[in-house]
Chain A
Amino acid sequence: MKYLKQTLIILTISFIGELLKSIIPFPVPASIYGMVIMFLCLMTGILKLNQVKDASKFLIEIMPVMFIPAGVGLITSWGALQSMLVPVCIVTVVANITVMLATGHVSQWIIKRERKKKDE
C-alpha cells in the first residue's frame, strides 16, 4: 500500500506538470515543472518527506534503464547523424570535458575560498 500511495502522489504531480506544459508556451518539459512542484510541496510542508521517499528512491535508482529505449533509438537517426559525424564527435567529446571543468572548478574555487574566509 505504501508504494501505491507514494506512486499515486508522484504520478499526480507528473500530471500537473503535463497540464502546466500545455498551458505555458516555453520549451520546458512536464518533468521539470513537476520537479519544481514536488520541491515546493516538500518545502511548504504540503507533502511530508516520508510520503514520497521510498518510491522516489526506487525510481531514481532504476533511472539509467529508462534511457535504454532512447539510446537504442540512435539507430533510427544514424542516417541523419552520418552527414555531420565529424563535428558531432568533436563537439560532443570536447564540450563534455570543458563544461565539466568549468562548472566543477568555478564552484570548487568558490567553495574553497568561502571556507578559507570562515577559518580566518
Chain B
Amino acid sequence: MNKIFQDSTFLGVAISLLTYGFGSFLKKKTKLGIFNPLLISIIITIIIISVGKVDYDVYNESAKLLGWFLTPATVCLAVPLYEQWELLKKNYKAVVAGLVTGTVTSMLTVFVLCLICGVDHKGYVTLLPKSITTAIGMGVSEELGGYVTITVAVIIITGVLGNILGEFICKVFKINEPISKGLAMGASSHAIGTAKAMEMGDVEGAMSSLAIAVSGLLTVVLASIFANFI
C-alpha cells in the first residue's frame, strides 16, 4: 500500500476528504458531538495508513496540499474580523479583559498542574504554549527549550478537544453571549476551535479569529516570564 501512496499525487488528499465526509455524515445522522468530522477523519486515516503500513511522510507527501492552504485561510480570518469591527469596538473592554485573563489562566493552569505532577522544566515549557496556534506555539517552545514535536502534538490535541467540547462547555457553564463564546473558543483552542466557532455563528467566528492573534502574541511575551517558575 505504501507503493500505491508513493505513486499517487492525490490519494492522500482523497482519503483525508473522504474520511472527513464520512465523519460529517455520521455527525448528521447521529447528532452526537463525539462524531466530530475532524476527529473521525484523523482516526480513520491513522488506522488506514497504519494497517496499510504506509509511512507518514509518504502519506503527507500526497496530503500536504491541504495544509498548504492553512496560511491563506488564516489570512482570510481578517475578513470576518473586519465585518464585525463595529461590534468589536463597542465591546473592546470585554474582549481585552477576556483574552488577557484567558492567556494568563492557560499558563497558570499549566504551571499548577506541572507542579502537582512533578514535570521538569523542559516538559513544563513544552506545555506552556499549548493553547495557541501551532506556528506561534512551536516558536515559543523552541525558544524556551521545550520538546517541539510534543508541543505540536499537544496543540493539535487541544484544538481538536476544543472543537469537540467547546459548544458543550459553553452550554453547561452558561457562556451564552456570542462574543464570549467566540473568545473562549479562540483563546482555548486556536484555529481548530475557530473552525468550530465559524459554524456557531458570524460573531463567534470573528471573535475567535481575533483571539488566535491576540492570545498568540500575548503568549509570546508572557511565556518567557512564566518559563522561570519551574
Show the binding face of A for B, using Cβ within 8 Å.
Answer: 7, 10-11, 13-14, 17-18, 26-32, 34-39, 42-43, 49, 52-53, 55-57, 59-77, 80-81, 84, 86-88, 90-108, 110-112, 114
Does any Cβ of A come within 8 Å of B66's Cβ? yes
Instruction: Determine the chain B residues whose CB is within 8 A of the CB of A101 once the complex forms.
Output: 169, 173, 175, 184
Query: What would 26 A/B residue contacts be, using CB atoms closer than 8 Å?
Result: A10-B75, A34-B74, A34-B75, A38-B76, A38-B78, A56-B79, A60-B73, A60-B76, A61-B198, A67-B38, A68-B42, A69-B59, A69-B63, A75-B56, A77-B149, A77-B153, A90-B113, A95-B188, A96-B165, A96-B189, A98-B109, A100-B188, A103-B98, A104-B183, A111-B179, A114-B94
Contact status B45-A72, CB under 8 Å? yes
Bound Cα distance A100, B74 (Å): 21
Bound Cα distance A34, B181 (Å): 25
Given contacts A91-B114, A91-B130, contact A32 B74 (CB under 8 A): yes
Given contacts A56-B79, A68-B41, contact A107 B66 (CB under 8 A): no
What number of A-B contacts does a CB cutoff of 8 Å give? Answer: 334
| B 166-193 binary contact with A (CB < 8 Å = 1; else 0) | 1001100101110111011101110110
Contact status A114-B93, CB under 8 Å? yes
Contact status A66-B69, CB under 8 Å? yes
Does any Cβ of A come within 8 Å of B119's Cβ? yes
Does any Cβ of A come within 8 Å of B60's Cβ? yes
Does any Cβ of A come within 8 Å of B125's Cβ? no
